[in-house]
Structures are given as structure tokens and as C-alpha cells.
Amino acid sequence: MTNLKQSVAAACLGLPVALGALTLTAAPASAAGVVHLFHRSAAEPMRVPRMAMWNHCAETLDIEIIENFSPPKQYEVQLPVQLSSSTPPDIYAYWAGGRSQFQAATGKIRAMNDIWAEIKDNYPAGVQATSTEPDGNVYTIPTTFQPNVFWYNKRVFAEHGLTPPTTWEDFLDVAAKLKEAGVTPFLLGSKSGWEPLLWFDYFVLRVAGSDFRNGLMAGTESYLDPRVVEAMELWKGLLEAGYFNDRTSSLGWQEMATKFVTGEGAMELMGTWTVGNFIQAGLEPGTDFDVFDFPPITEGIELAVEGAVEGWAASGAGENTDNAIAMLKCVSEREPQELFARQAQRMAANKDVPVDIYEPAAFQATIERFQDMLDAPFHQNLELATHPGVTEVAKRELPRFLAYPDQYMKVLELLEDRRNDVFGES
Amino acid sequence: MNARLTPWLFLMPAILIYGIFGAYPIFQTFAISLTNQVGVAEPGTFIGLQNYVTLIEDEYFLNSLKNTGIWVIAFLIVPNSLAITIALLVKQTFWGAGLIKTVFFLPLALSFAIVGVVWGWIYEPDVGLLDQLLIGLGLDGLIVEWLGPEAATYSVIAAAAWRQTAFATVVFLAGLSAIPQELIEAAKVDGGTRRQIFFRITLPLLKPASTIAVSSALIHALLATEIVLTMTEGGPFGTSEVVGYRMYMETFWNYKFGYGAAIGVIVTLMTATMVVPYVRRMAKAQERDWS
């Protein structure tokens, strides 16, 4: 009996030790470190290129990636919750622009100033400027940039004998002629709330200029400033003239892309992500559609460009921060960004990524034009450039303005109230 | 062992779990609601009831409160009425009853977030299933902007009610199965009409089931957030915003943790005020019925 007990005890003690030893010897060589990565990818076509970029760096640095991702809408919801937890991701997708500095309130975004000096020359001046926040810090390492521009349907323009407008008067003239011909001049859906922000940004930039707009985003200028009122009145004029499509609040940018392709509408102010819809629908870049700059309004105001610089931030929380920083340095380089840009067909932020990787070849001239835009003052769009509290009101009230243009002063008052609330009265 | 202590020992695990995961967060939320905490990096400063005072004048919050009121009324009436009707129908044994049950129970397998995504597609202008169906039936005149400013709240409620009806149907069906058949048969023998049997026997005996269905409807209506997030994000222009969504926006979007916590406390109080008395009354009624 004693022998049996001893045998069982020996087996109980010995077996786990033996199995443990076996596991140790059989275990594959582990990576030098780990990073938890959280990103926004709706589907494989975007997730795969993103991970190709990160896997390149992971292999180079011998770091293991633990990946987590959500579709964009859910990502917006989940990220703030995750960052407020005690186990935030080490690296997460984010945007350069003023909004990042307010993310610091969560204590889960790390300033990258220490590595920025080493890597900033990987980027053109416009991206460098956009990446530096009003508080003087750099939080996000950029990987893509997407300007918001006017797309116009060349077939529709040709049919009505029109050329892209270069002045405000031309712009109004083109819109009037299209309207008279039964074509919707400007396509704009506001279902997601952010779409009309692009128009607001450009009106403010063209009426009041870059410095004023920077002040507006930083909370030092007022939404009730006469220049903002003038911008809204110009926009109201276009709305009241019937130059926009109807049902703006229940339609989004995808529906607008469809109307653009069918020729129901002639122009759309939108980011470069919409071009995929045009090409998939059979439109040929340069032949069937092209871009033009938002026309000048106030004389002497520089033609600044508005858009989005997307990148990645580190939470700076937890033991993997050094790995996260090494990975972020790596993705600033040409090779990983080229991998991503080639597969995703999104414009890389790194200045050395060649243009010939973008398809179709007919679109490369437009890409070069976008890259040239970075020589002009480049602004993050309103959603990314200011406090999220102000953004919330803009995304809520500007769609209201599209439906009820008469309420423009009420919209500005609400924006001003929120500005005072988040930045303090000044 | 002391006989007075024994029950407490058995209750201790449940009390501990509830205390840590239920009561403590409620008290912590209340404590945060008395501060001006921004984000989670640093605790806020004590400001007393200032957040609650601000809420009374907050146009966005009051709008979300109004919409939550609409949710509560609609959610109490629509899914529960439909569920009783469906439960009575599918309880009958007839050819195809199984198929009907499956069709009505299917939404139960979906989360409110997924229901929101699916119904978002159904409501899409022009190309959505609903518009296409109405066009196909020659009822174009009935088409409205389903997720537009006038209809958004009701469209979202209809989508959520679809799932809630499935849940309530299961509950009422279980309740109907528990009613002794002899009672119904005795009533029939005594000459009771179908109407009399329903209102005097079936409905009173469905009290336990209706307690669950009504409480669930109340809680889901008061906390409706994910379906609003996935379908409309509170829009257009905040017309479909509810208090749960407002709490999320203030806390995680605007980083106003103190303010968001104040909304959380109000939602908790509203839920407790509505659900607890109802459940207690129903429990007492059941005790009375059984004694």
C-alpha cells in the first residue's frame, strides 16, 4: 500500500515536471518582445496591408505582435473605452492633428518627441507640420495622408461645356449652369456627421486663412467671429440656391459616390478614399473624372489644403512601451510604408515611397498633385484638429444646417458655447 | 456553528461578488459624479452637485431624456403586446408552427448591435429592403426618410422592438406552458368565452412571465445604447439620442468622466425607480395569488 501511495505521489510530482521540461525544450524560439496592437480595419483588404507593414517591422525587430482590430465605427467606440482601462493596447491607430493632444487626458498617449527628431525627415514638410500638435508635442507617427479635394465628373462637365472653376465667380457660374441643366452641382451626404465638416473647413480657410483657422481649432478664436459668419452665409447661399442634393441627413458619402458615377451629380468635396468607388465603377482617372482645388474666396488668402494624416500612437502604459517605440520608429521608414501603400492603394506619408506603385497608372499624375499639396499649408480636418467636444457639436449641428440653412447662427452659437466649455472663455 | 451566522456564510460568496462587481462600481460612479474628473489620468476635484445642476440646463441631455421616455413607452407596449399575441398563436399545434417559432425566435440570437447593422441596411434610402418592398407593392407614397430627423427615433425603436419581441415571446410562451390546462378546460365547461378565459385566467396567470418581460423591456429601453450607436450615432442632429448614448459621448468622447458619471447615476436611479417597485408589486401579487 505504501509503495502504491509513493508511486502515485511520484507520478503526480514527476509527470508535471517531466512535461514542463519537455515543453521547455520543445518550445519554439520566442520573440524578443511583444506588442499589443489595436487597429481599425473593416475587412481583409485593409487589414492585410496594415499587418504586412507591421509584420515587416516585427520580423526586423524580432517582436511578436498580438493583434486586435475592429471595423472603423466600432473602433471609435471601443478605443476610448480600452484606453480608459488598466490594460490599454501598446500601439493603436490614431490621427495626427490637434485631437491627439486632448487624448492625453486619458493618460494613454505617449509624446513621441524623443524619437521624432530621428525620423521626421522621412516625411514631407506638410506632414511634419500637421504631426506637431498645438501643445508642441508629437503623438502620432504618420503612415498615410489623404487630402480632401473637389472631384468633378469630366463627362458631365464636357456635356455642358464647363471647365473646372478657378475663381469663386466661376464656381458659382458652373453651379448655376449645372442646376439649370438638371444636374445636382454639389453632392453631399451627412449621414455620418463628418462629411459637411470638410465644407466648413474650406470655407473658413478660404475666407479667413490658415492662421485664423489654427486659432479656431486651438480654441483661441471665436465661432461667432464675423469671418466665420461670412463663411456660413456663403455656404447658406449655395444651399438656398438648391445647388446640393436633397435628403442630406439620411445619405452618406458612399451614396454620393454612386450619384457621382451616374452623373446625377457633378462635384463632390471628399477625401481620396472615394476614388476606389469611381475606378471600380469603370471611370478612368484623368479621362472621366479629375480634381480641382476649392476656389479662392478672399483675395490674398493662401490656398491651404485640408485633409487627414493617419498614423499610430503608443499608449505608453505597461511593460511593452520600448517595443512599441521601436516598432513605431520602424513604420516611419520607406519599406514598411511602401508595403502598405502598394497593397492598400492608400497614399503613404513617407516622402520616399515612389508614385509608380499606385494604380492605375493614369491616376499617378493626380497622386503627384496631391503630394505637391503638402507644400501648401496642410490642415487636419476639423474632426481631427480640435477638441472632440467641439467636434461632437460640429458633427451634430452642421448636418442640421444643411437641412435648415436659416439656423446657421444657432449652429455657430452652439459651437461657440462648446468652445467656451472645453477651452474656457476667452 | 452559530445558527444565525450560517445563512450569512452561505450568502457571503454572492454578497462578495455583487459587492465587488455591482455595488462598488455604483458607489464609485456616484463619487466620480461629484467631481470634475477629465479622463482617467488624474482624479478630479470635488464640485458637489454641480454636474447635476449643469445637466438640468443641458439641451442635449434633456433631448436624450425625452427620447428615452419615448423608448420606455414604446418598448413597454409594442414588443409585449406583439409577444403575447405571437405566443398565443404559436402555442397552438398546427402545421408550420415550428417554422413560425423559428422565424420569431431568430432575432434572439442576435445582439442589439448586430440588429442595428441589419436594420440599417433595411432602412437604406432607395436601395434598402423596406423601400424596395414598398416600391414593389406600389406603395411608394409610404416611403419616408426612415433614418431622417422625423422618423429616426421610431425606426430605431422598431428595430430594437423586433429583437425584444422575440425575447418576450419566449418568456410568454414559457408562461403559457406553465398554466394548468385543467383550469382552461374547467372554464370552458363552465361556459367561459375565449375572451373571458384570456382576461380572467390566462392573463392573470402570466404575471410571473410579464414581470420578466416588462422588467427586461424597461431595462433595455433605459439603457439602449449600442443599437443607437450602430444605426444612427444619435443622429441626425441628435434626434435619436438616448441617455445611454449621451453618457457614452460625455465620458469617452468628451473625456468628461465626472459629467458622464452623473448621467450614469441618473440612469441607475431611473432604472431603480421604475423596475424595483414594479418587480416588488408583482412579487407581492404572486405571493397573494399563491397563498
Query: Over the stretch A101-117, which tens digit does the pLDDT of each residue have?
Result: 777 766 778 999 999 99
With CA atoms as reference, the chain A residue closest to B225 would be: A77
Write down the pLDDT at residue A31: 54
On the question of pLDDT at A14 being above 70, the answer is no
In this prediction, residue A270 has a pLDDT band, given cuts at 50, 70 and 90, of very high
Closest CA–CA distance from residue A318 to any residue of chain B (Å)? 14
pLDDT in tens, chain B (291 residues): 578 888 889 999 999 999 998 899 999 999 999 999 887 767 889 999 999 999 999 999 999 999 999 999 999 999 999 999 988 888 876 777 777 777 778 888 888 888 998 999 999 888 889 999 999 999 888 989 899 899 999 999 999 999 999 999 989 988 888 888 888 889 888 888 888 888 888 888 888 888 889 989 998 999 888 899 889 989 799 999 999 999 999 988 888 899 999 999 999 999 889 888 888 877 777 676 655
Q: Which residues of A339-362 are buried (b: 16+ CB within 10 A; e: fewer)?
A: bbbbbbbbbbbbbebeeeebeeee
DSSP conformation class of A95: E
DSSP B238: T
Contacts A71 to B, Cβ<8 Å = none
Determine the pLDDT at residue A17: 43
CB pairs under 8 A between A and B: 78
Residue scoring higher pLDDT (A270 or A31): A270
pLDDT of residue A9: 43
Residues of A within 8 A of B125 (CB-CB) are 247, 250-251, 255
Residues paired with A184 in a beta bridge: A265
Higher pLDDT: A16 or A273? It is: A273
Residue B4, Cβ neighbours under 10 Å: how many? 7
Name which of B38, B60, B237 to mutate to probe chain A: the one with the most chain A Cβ atoms within 10 A of its Cβ. Answer: B237
Rounded distance between C-alpha atoms, residue B235 and residue B151, angstroms: 11
Mean pLDDT calculated for residue range A41-67: 89
> With contacts defined as CB-CB under 8 Å, which chain A residues touch B234?
396
Which of A106, A190, A396 shows the shortest C-beta gap to B40? A106
Identity at A243, one-letter amino acid code? Y
Closest chain A residue by Cα to residue B239 = A396
Give the pLDDT of residue A25. Answer: 40
Interface contact flag, B145 A247, Cβ < 8 Å: yes
Give the model's pLDDT for residue A2: 44
Are A249 and B236 in contact (CB < 8 Å)? yes
Gap between the Cα atoms of B41 and A107, Å rounded: 5
* 3-class SS of residue A37: strand
Q: For residue A132, name the pLDDT band (cuts at 50, 70, 90).
A: confident
pLDDT in tens, A335-351: 999 999 999 888 999 99
Contact B125 A192 (CB under 8 A): no
Q: Between vectors from CA B263 to CA B261 and to CA B268, what angle results, nearest 5°?
A: 95
Whether A396 sits inside 8 A of B234 (CB atoms) is yes
Instruction: Write the residue in A77, A84, A190 that is nearest to B40 by C-beta.
Output: A84
- Radius of gyration of chain B from its Cα atoms, rounded to whole angstroms: 23
pLDDT value of residue A8: 45
Q: Which of A81, A193, A247 is facing B233, going by the closest CB pair?
A: A193
Cell reading at B161: 422592438
CB contact under 8 A, A249 and B148: yes
Q: What is the pLDDT of residue B31?
A: 95
CA distance A155 to A10: 85
**CB B41 to CB A104 under 8 A?**
yes
Residue B191 pLDDT = 87
Q: Do residues A412 and A228 lie in contact, with contact meaning Cβ atoms separated by under 8 Å? A: yes
C-alpha span between A178 and A30 (Å, rounded): 64
pLDDT of residue A425: 57
**Strand (E) or helix (H) holding B146:** none
| ipTM of the complex, rounded to two decimals | 0.81
User: What is the pLDDT, as a whole number, of residue B290?
Assistant: 58
B-chain CB neighbours of A249 within 8 Å are 145, 148-149, 235-237
Q: CA–CA separation, B96 vs B141, rounded Å?
A: 34
Residues of A whose CB is below 8 A from B249: 392
Q: Quick one: average pLDDT of A75-96?
A: 83
pLDDT of residue A233: 97
Distance of CA B6 to the CA centre of its chain: 37
Q: Mind listing the pLDDT tens digit for each residue in A86-98? A: 788 999 998 876 6
Q: How far apart are CA B241 and CA B247, in angstroms?
A: 10
Tell me the pLDDT band of A5, cut-offs 50, 70 and 90: very low
Does residue A420 belong to the interface with chain B, where contact is any CB pair within 8 Å?
no
C-alpha cell at A288: 472621366
Give the angle subtended at the CA of A80 by the CAs of B50 and A124, to the nearest 5°.
Answer: 120
Residues B237, A400: C-beta atoms closer than 8 Å: yes
Query: Over the stretch A174-216, which tens digit does the pLDDT of each residue have?
Result: 999 999 999 999 999 998 899 999 999 999 999 999 999 999 9
Contact A106 B39 (CB under 8 A): yes
Which pLDDT score is estimated for A75?
A: 83
Asked if A71 has any chain B CB less than 8 Å from its own CB, the reply is no
The fraction of chain A above a pLDDT of 70, given in percent, is: 90
- The partner residue sitting opposite A397, judged by closest CB among B42, B237, B249, is B237
d(CA A51, CA A39): 10
Q: What is the pLDDT of residue B241?
A: 94
Chain A window 190-249: which residues touch B at a Cβ cutoff of 8 Å?
190-193, 247, 249
Q: Are B259 and B106 in contact (CB under 8 A)?
A: no
**pTM for this structure?**
0.84
Sign of CA dihedral B195, B199, B201, B206: positive
pLDDT digits (tens, 9 = 90+) for A281-316: 999 998 999 999 999 999 999 899 999 888 999 998
